[in-house]
Amino acid sequence: MSTLHVVEEILRESGEPMSVREIVEYAKGRLPTKSKTPDTVVARDLSMDLKRKGDESQFIRVSPGRYTMRALAAGTEPTQILSSAMKHERAGTLPAATTPATKAEPSTSSSSG
């Protein structure tokens, strides 16, 4: 059984998006690799499948390092999933860059008005 077949079983069993680490932990030895870093093998295989097959892949990346089955995500618009994931990803980096500008605007506007 291939790595992707095991990943498919795990994602169908869980019914929700999982990180590569969660997939490997849930697999508990079912993965056909003897690698010391099975996370890398799973991440590589998922990424290659998505790259090669694109929209025809049975997997979908919902955020960096998190995957689910395309069929399970069919009830939700893919743009909503990706949009949500992008907001969460940006949330960690943007506030530091935008906070000073945001604080400066209200104080300038308050002084003028």
Mean pLDDT of the chain: 78
Residue 45 CA, distance from chain mean position: 15
Structure letter (DSSP) for residue 66: E
Q: What angle is formed at CA 6 by the lines to CA 88 and CA 22, rounded to 5 degrees? A: 35
All structural domains of the chain: 1-74 (1.10.10), 76-113 (no CATH)
Beta bridge partners of 19: 66
Q: Identify the band that residue 1 occupies on the pLDDT scale cut at 50, 70 and 90.
A: confident
pTM of the full structure: 0.64
Give the per-residue pLDDT at 63: 92
